[in-house]
Structure 1
Amino acid sequence: MNIRAATIVDSDAIRNIHLNAFPESESALVSKLAVELLNVATRPEVMHWVAEVDGVVVGHVAFSPVTVD
C-alpha cells in the first residue's frame, strides 16, 4: 500500500470511494464535499491523502480546520 497526497486527478476515485462508503442518505453530500475541498487550491490548511494498492486509489482521508463555538 502506498499513501500519498491527493491531487485533482484523484477526484473521480475520491468521489466513488465516498459514494460506496456512506449510506445512500449521506453519500452524495459527503462525496460532493470531499471533491469540493480537493478543488480548493487556495486552502493549504486542508490536507487530502489517498491510499493506493497496485496504483489504484482505495482510500481517502481529508483534514480541515473546524471552529466550535
Structure 2
Amino acid sequence: MTTAAPTGRVLVWHTSSYSNGAGGECVECAITSTRAHVRDTKEVDGPVITVAGSAWSVFLRGLNSG
C-alpha cells in the first residue's frame, strides 16, 4: 500500500452509490488493470491510497460477505 498519488495516468474516479453529496464520510475509487486507488471525496487533491488489485478484490469480497 502507498499513499503517493499516481503519476502519468488519467484516473476515472467513481463515488459510492451510497454517497448523497451531503458531506458524509465517503470515498471514491479508481481502478486500473493492476491497482485500486482510493481517496476522500471531500479532498480530491489530497492523498491517494493505492493497493494491489488482488488486495482490493479480497477487501471487496470481505465486504460482500457481511
**TM-score, normalised to structure 1's length?**
0.29
- TM-score if structure 2 supplies the norm length? 0.29
